[in-house]
Structure 1
């Protein structure tokens, strides 16, 4: 007879993802065992496998839960009002809020992609490209001089992601600078480069 699903099944899955994200961010995917995840969740390995069939499935859930939130941000901004500058501003503010609130997941997304099976890695990479393409489209709308130079448009887009993606490595949420200010700094650098 198949095991029935607990009433709090989804909450337990999310708790596993949260603890695993913290472990993977601290130790790396290869440095955190299934036993470590189970211990962090105060559960058994066998119960953990009830929720996720493999450690790779847990890793995928960590990444997918984070990147799906970022894709939702893109979709909300794309269909929203305002010019390209304003929509890009809103998007960067949303990204920074989520990066700060999910620093472990962001770190895992940036560092552990190679540990996913090919099909799952392909799925995550497709969503990453969706984010990059959406931001590039907004940048080109905001700065039409980029329209005729796809190489420069992509370079500026990737520089923007380079600025914000790694904030989890140095940003202190208790510090004087708030996530919105970081978003504004990044926007200023990418839309109004020094000397322009």
Structure 2
């Protein structure tokens, strides 16, 4: 007879992912142990292995869960009927708002991808490509001249924007002199003001 799932199965899985992301971010992927993660999660090692059979499985689950939530937030914010400039502003805000309280998960995404199998990397890259495509489509609408065969600058501009957003966790602190929403406007205005100068 199949074993039934506990009522709090998904809640426990999520709690373990949050704890594991904290341990990985603090200790590094190589130094962090399953014992440390179990202790931080306040579960037994046996229960931890029941949910996630290896560190690699944990790392994949953290990144996949983080990016899936990010993609869902971006999809909800993306309204093609809106003017391209406002559409870009909404997409940038969706990213920065979603990054709130997710610094540890973001660090794992940036630093631990090499620990994954080729199949896992392919799944992660597929999500990342879909996210990037939404931004490049919008930037293309803002300035179609970026995407010419002679000088294909759409992708460099798109990835420069992601550089601004992806590394914000290194310096931004909630409660500081500017809010997260303020910085979303700063990043948008930098892109919208600078994109017109890119030829």
**Can you give the 5+ residue segments of structure 1 that lack an aligned partner in the other structure?**
none
Q: CA deviation at 1:26?
A: 1.5
- Segments of 5+ residues of structure 2 without an aligned counterpart are none
Count of residues in correspondence between the two structures: 196
* Bigger mean CA deviation after superposition, 11-20 or 133-142: 133-142
Q: Distance in 2 between matches of 1:55 and 1:28?
A: 12
Aligned to 2:114: 114
Q: Which residue matches 1:33?
A: 33
TM-score by length of 1: 0.93
Deviations 1:84-115 (A, max 9, x none): 11111111111101112211111111111101
Shift of 1:73: 2.4
Is the contact made by 2:84 and 2:141 (CA closer than 8 Å) also made in structure 1? yes
Root mean square deviation, CA, Å: 1.8
Residue matched to 1:156: 157
SS of the equivalent of 1:172 reads coil
Equivalent residue number for residue 191 of structure 1: 192
Task: Please state if 1:53 is matched with 2:53.
Answer: yes
Residue 194 to residue 5, structure 1, CA distance change in 2 (3 Å): closer
Contact 1:56 1:116 in 2 (8 A): yes
1:7-46 mapped onto 2 (5 Å cutoff): 7-46=7-46
1:46-83 Cα deviation digits (max 9, x unpaired) = 11111112221111111011101121123223345411
Asked whether the equivalents of residues 87 and 138 of structure 2 are also in contact (C-alpha less than 8 Å), the reply is yes
User: Contact conserved, 2:97 with 2:180, CA < 8 A, in 1?
Assistant: yes
Correspondence 1:58-137 to 2 at 5 A: 58-79=58-79, 81-137=81-137
Aligned-partner Cα distance in 2 for 1:81–1:105: 32
Residues 1:16 and 1:46: Cα distance change in structure 2 (over 3 Å) = same
**CA deviation profile, 1:132-184 (whole Å, cap 9, x unmatched):** 12111100101122132573111110110001101111111121211111111
CA distance in 2, matches of 1:88, 1:195: 15
Instruction: Answer whether contact 1:96 1:183 (CA < 8 A) is retained.
Output: yes
Q: Is the 8 A contact 2:92 2:184 kept in 1?
A: yes
Aligned-partner Cα distance in 2 for 1:7–1:55: 25
CA distance in 2, matches of 1:195, 1:11: 47
Using the alignment, how far apart are the partners of 1:123 and 1:47 within structure 2?
26
